[in-house]
Amino acid sequence: MTAHRLRLTLFGSTGSIGCQTLAVLDHLRSNGWDIELVALTAGHDSERLRQQVQRYQPESLGVADPDDAAALQQTFPDLPVEAGPQGLENLAAREDVDLVVNATVGAAGLPVTWTALRAGRRIALANKESLAIAGETLRELLARHGGSIVSIDSEHHALHQCLEGRRLEDVSRLLITASGGPFLHLTAEDLEAITPEQALAHPTWSMGKRITIDSSTLVNKAFEVIGAHTIYQIPYPRIDVLLHPQSLVHSMVEFIDGSTLAEVGPRDMRIAIQNALIYPERLASGIEPLRWENGIELAFEPLRRGQYPAYDTVLAAAGVGEGALAAVNAADEVLIDRFLAGEIRFPTIAKGLQLTLDRWQEEGQEPGVPATLDALLAADGWARRFAGSLPPSDRRS
Ligand code: NAD
Ligand code: MG
* Ligand 1 pocket mutation pick from 207, 225, 273 by most atoms within 8 angstroms of CB: 207
Neighbouring residues of 187: CB distance < 8 A, sequence distance ≥ 6 = none
Nearest atom (ligand 1) to Cα of 269: 40
Classify each residue of 217-251 as buried b or exposed e, where b means 16 or more C-beta atoms within 10 Å of its C-beta. Answer: bbbbbbbbbbbbbbbbebeeeebebbbbbbbbbbb
**Mean pLDDT value of segment 183-211:** 90
| pLDDT tens digits, 86-123 | 999 999 999 999 999 999 999 999 999 999 999 999 99
| pLDDT tens digits, 33-72 | 999 999 999 999 999 999 999 999 999 999 999 999 999 9
| Residue 63 CB–ligand 1 contact under 6 Å | no
Rounded to an integer, what distance in angstroms lies between the CA atom of residue 131 and that of residue 226? 7
| Residue 82 CB–ligand 1 contact under 6 Å | no
Is the pLDDT assigned to residue 396 strictly greater than 80? no
Classify each residue of 161-177 as buried b or exposed e, where b means 16 or more C-beta atoms within 10 Å of its C-beta. Answer: bbbeeeeeeebebbbbb
The count of residues in the chain is: 397
Specify the 3-state DSSP secondary structure of 258: coil
Closest CA to 317 of 352, 346, 354: 354
Are the C-beta atoms of 112 and 11 separated by less than 8 Å? yes
pLDDT given at position 308: 94
Are the C-beta atoms of 87 and 61 separated by less than 8 Å? no
Specify the 3-state DSSP secondary structure of 179: coil
Rounded to an integer, what distance in angstroms lies between the CA atom of residue 311 and that of residue 315? 6
* Ligand 1 pocket mutation pick from 9, 13, 17 by most atoms within 8 angstroms of CB: 17
Percent of the chain exceeding pLDDT 90 equals 93
| pLDDT tens digits, 341-377 | 999 999 999 999 999 999 999 999 999 999 999 999 9
Gap from CA of 155 to ligand 2 centroid (Å): 5
DSSP state of 292: G
**Got the DSSP string for 313-327?**
HHHHHHHH-HHHHHH
Gap from CA of 77 to ligand 2 centroid (Å): 38
| Residue 151 CB–ligand 1 contact under 6 Å | no
* Ligand 1 pocket mutation pick from 10, 24, 104 by most atoms within 8 angstroms of CB: 104
Nearest atom (ligand 1) to Cα of 19: 26
Residue bearing the CA closest to ligand 1, atom 19: 43
| Residue 126 CB–ligand 1 contact under 6 Å | yes
| Residue 272 CB–ligand 1 contact under 6 Å | no
Gap from CA of 93 to ligand 1 centroid (Å): 20
Nearest atom (ligand 1) to Cα of 16: 26
Neighbours of 288 (CB within 10 A): 8
Arithmetic mean of pLDDT over the chain: 96
**pLDDT band per the 50, 70, 90 thresholds, residue 1:** very low
Gap from CA of 226 to ligand 2 centroid (Å): 12
**Mean pLDDT value of segment 122-137:** 98
**Mean pLDDT value of segment 130-149:** 98
CA 25 to chain centre: 20
Are the C-beta atoms of 262 and 162 separated by less than 8 Å? yes
| Residue 113 CB–ligand 1 contact under 6 Å | no
Nearest atom (ligand 1) to Cα of 211: 34
**Which ligand neighbours the alpha carbon of 113 most closely?**
1
Residue bearing the CA closest to ligand 1, atom 39: 207
| pLDDT tens digits, 271-330 | 999 999 999 999 999 999 999 999 999 999 999 988 999 999 999 999 999 999 999 999
Is the pLDDT assigned to residue 395 strictly greater than 60? no
Are the C-beta atoms of 269 and 250 separated by less than 8 Å? no
State if pTM tops 0.75.
yes
Is the pLDDT assigned to residue 143 strictly greater than 90? yes
CA 260 to chain centre: 26
Rounded to an integer, what distance in angstroms lies between the CA atom of residue 92 and that of residue 123? 10
What residues are neighbours of ligand 2 (ion), with CB under 5 Å?
A: 153-155
**Mean pLDDT value of segment 205-230:** 96
| pLDDT tens digits, 185-196 | 888 888 899 999
